[in-house]
Amino acid sequence: MIPYILYASMILAVSLIFYKLLLQKETFFYLNRFVLLFCMVLAFTLPLVQVPQQLSFRKSPAIAATPSVQIPGPQGNTTQSSVKEVPVQTAVAETSQQPAYVELTGKWLVYLYWFGVLIFGLNFLMQAAILLYRAYSRPVIIDGKFRIVEITGDKAPCSFANNIFINPEKYDWETYNQVLLHEKIHIEQKHTLDLLLAEIMLVFQWFNPFAWQWRKELESNLEFFTDAQMLRQDAVEKENYQLSLLRVAAPHFPLSLTTNYNQSLLKKRLIMMNSKKSNVHTTWKYFFLLPMMVLFVCFFNEPMAQSRHSGSKEKINSVNDDKDGMKTTGNWFATIREDRVNIQFRNEDEDDNHSSGTTFRLNELGTLPVDKQGTFTLIRDAGTMEFTGKFEGNKGMGDYKFVPSKSFGEEMRREGVDISSDKDLMVFFIVNIKRSYVEMLKRNGYTKLNKDNLVPLAALDISEAYISSIKQAGFKDIDLDNLVPFKAMNIDKAYIEEIRNAGYKDLTPDKVITFKAQGIDGKYIADFRSAAKAKDTEEGRNANDQKDAGSKSDDKVDEDDLIAFKAMNIDNAFVESFKGLGYTNIPNSDLIAMKSLGITAEYMKSLQNAGYPNITPGDAVAMKSLGVTPEYIKSFRNAGYTDIKADDMIALKSQNVTPALLKEYKDLGFSDLDIGDVLGAKATGTSPAFIKSMREKGHNLKSLDKYIALKSVIGN
């Protein structure tokens, strides 16, 4: 819980810095409102998102899993070597012992956090209860959907839900009306919901100073927006309205759940009202928000486990089920196949068999009772399995009892391996973990062993020779978390050297695992590089010009990009197809996006022919994702709009604006249409029909943006 809360705190902190540096002084108050709400929600949802491993900068907790296969048992006494079918869990958690005081401190921090949540949660509920009590226990005037609640004393007016709290005796008639209009805008825009969300956020982020500052910025922006809407009213003059603010501000602040007049915001509001309106071309700042959040996810979120084998997750769960469900007594069912015997172990309380069985060599079991009741045993370091029953033909059944070796259990505990029950020893017996195997692992530097990592190590037969070969390949300090998936995915010294010889000298175990999982080998790398070099040679480019799409000046593709290329099946034919159109420098990130969206050279050429000869790959990606077609572009050109920029065309499509809609606005008298105003009108629902209805009521405004403001005030 604490890491999640701290992660959310970090997102809020960075988002606040981003907002203050780039957006705070912009007058796009409506857009800023949604940015503030969006980031606040993202702070609590982003930590829960998992990302594909090739896009993550973190280590994946579970890399790969292999299906049930027959693998030779650990080396040792040849008479006791066996072949087992074991589903292998290749991600192993290595336990770490923490000092007692650290654990105790952690517990008290958790208790302190939840105590704070409780206190601030009760405070939130108390504020809501007080406001509701005041709203329905005092004199009220019903004004349509608004409830004007009369209060006494020197308190600033405020609003909550559809209630306006005001002392009418304090103000002259003009100021009183302006206050009511101001608070009605708050109610129409449902600003109470913003503040409620902010207060709920503070309940869980009470310790975070950035969260408190975030709430202030949100409240300030709501006031800036409302002030801007007030100044758009024909009956409101800026000077009179600002004087009203000075008269209304009071030192006794209302409760924090309300939108209100207060002195702490007054100076900022006056400055913002007299600021120059932001230019629409500064909206580029908002586009940095998305990549910033993507970087958060890639750097800090837990990557999804990857596996090349279908059903690997089910097989991992199957291992855990087998281990938890295995009992030391029960029934056995066996089938003899040539020189091996497959035995399934069942218990009385099991409806079905939980494992695919364990395969033993026939000579391990001694003389089997055929056609008559009898006994036979199997002895291993972890204990003895006593079988009672009989075989008829190649089928057999009966009862089993596992007798654990107490001395082996004690020895494992002395080695630091926690054997807590006879069930654990039975698992060791099935996998055939030996004393000599544990000693070998310790001899090779793996001293922090536990029962959870010993099982897959032994099942995969990770021998001393294999460990030595991996260390000789350059991974001298490889840990068990990586050693297990190495063996499970058949990563050997030869494969590692093959990748290194292809130019990737600074490999990490994680990268090797991902390369192998994606099927990247030396041939794939060489083919990709040779094709790029051949193209460079044909075009006579020097070393400084060889940074073509999919290649770099040293002919080595970035590791993460190479993984993504392989996963997306991006080959040289795909890259080459765009070079004929003049795209010889497409960034790898754009290549990946283009491939994922199905952007082809034909699509790029169609956009060029539609009027964008210099369209960038990034704009093409945006157009494709929104469904911008050449026909859509040509429809605007046929209607006389020949100079629409690519980013404006993207925005028009995102709002589903058509040439027919632009014509409707022109027919209403707006001959000099601004694309920004059209987008604003579409976003706020300021339709031609709405403008006509307002004109019928006497609102003959001069510009489209004034109708947008009017729509924002009156809502639906």
Most confident of 36-45, 298-307, 446-455, 522-531: 36-45
pLDDT: which is higher, 73 or 430: 430
CA distance linking residue 602 with residue 607, whole number of Å: 9
- pLDDT, tens digit, for every residue of 673-683? 888 888 888 88
pLDDT: which is higher, 487 or 530: 487
- Looking at 468-472, 525-529, 588-592, which range is the least confident one? 525-529
Mean pLDDT score across all residues of the chain: 80
CA distance linking residue 231 with residue 238, whole number of Å: 6
User: Which pLDDT value is given to residue 67?
Assistant: 36
560 pLDDT more than 70: yes
Q: How many other CB atoms are found less than 10 A from the CB of residue 107?
A: 10
Tell me, what amino acid is at 482? N
Q: Percent of the chain at pLDDT above 70? A: 80
- pLDDT, tens digit, for every residue of 202-236? 999 999 999 999 999 999 999 888 888 888 887 78
Mapped onto helix, strand or coil, the DSSP state of residue 65 is: strand
Which structure tokens are listed for 650? 């993207």
Q: Percent of the chain at pLDDT above 90? A: 27
Helix (H) / strand (E) containing 34? helix 29-45
- Looking at 85-89, 161-165, 633-637, which range is the least confident one? 85-89
275 pLDDT more than 90: no
CA distance linking residue 76 with residue 406, whole number of Å: 21
The residue with tokens 């029934």 is 331
CA distance linking residue 332 with residue 315, whole number of Å: 22
pLDDT: which is higher, 51 or 142: 142
User: Which pLDDT value is given to residue 107?
Assistant: 82
- Looking at 47-51, 394-398, 628-632, which range is the least confident one? 47-51
SS (H, E, C) 292-331: HHHHHHHHHCCECCCCCCCCHHHHHHHHHHHHHHCCCEEE
Which structure tokens are listed for 713? 């005030």
Asked if 157 contacts 253 with a C-beta cutoff of 8 angstroms, the reply is no
- pLDDT, tens digit, for every residue of 85-121? 333 333 333 334 455 666 678 788 888 989 999 999 9
- pLDDT, tens digit, for every residue of 131-158? 999 899 998 999 889 999 998 887 788 8
- pLDDT, tens digit, for every residue of 400-446? 999 999 999 999 988 888 888 888 898 899 889 999 999 999 999 99
pLDDT band at 251 (very low <50, low <70, confident <90, very high): very low
Asked if 165 contacts 157 with a C-beta cutoff of 8 angstroms, the reply is yes
618 pLDDT more than 80: yes
Mapped onto helix, strand or coil, the DSSP state of residue 150 is: strand
CA distance linking residue 467 with residue 485, whole number of Å: 13
Q: Domain segments of the chain: what residues? A: 32-45+100-278, 66-93+320-466
Residue 700, judged by CB atoms within 10 A of its CB (0-12, 13-18, 19+), counts as exposed
699 pLDDT more than 80: yes
174 pLDDT more than 60: yes
Asked if 225 contacts 30 with a C-beta cutoff of 8 angstroms, the reply is yes
User: Which pLDDT value is given to residue 193?
Assistant: 92
pLDDT band at 170 (very low <50, low <70, confident <90, very high): confident
pLDDT band at 386 (very low <50, low <70, confident <90, very high): very high
CA distance linking residue 500 with residue 474, whole number of Å: 10
Which structure tokens are listed for 659? 């040439």
266 pLDDT more than 80: no
3 pLDDT more than 90: no
Q: Which residue from 68, 72, 94 is spatially nearest to 83, judged by alpha carbons? A: 72
In degrees, rounded to 5, the angle at the alpha carbon of residue 264 between the alpha carbons of residues 258 and 267 is 120
User: Which pLDDT value is given to residue 217?
Assistant: 92
User: Which pLDDT value is given to residue 399?
Assistant: 94
- Looking at 27-36, 570-579, 595-604, which range is the least confident one? 570-579
pLDDT: which is higher, 30 or 253: 30
- Looking at 214-223, 341-350, 468-477, 637-646, which range is the least confident one? 341-350
CA distance linking residue 571 with residue 716, whole number of Å: 53
User: Which pLDDT value is given to residue 531?
Assistant: 53
CA distance linking residue 260 with residue 269, whole number of Å: 13
pLDDT: which is higher, 555 or 559: 559
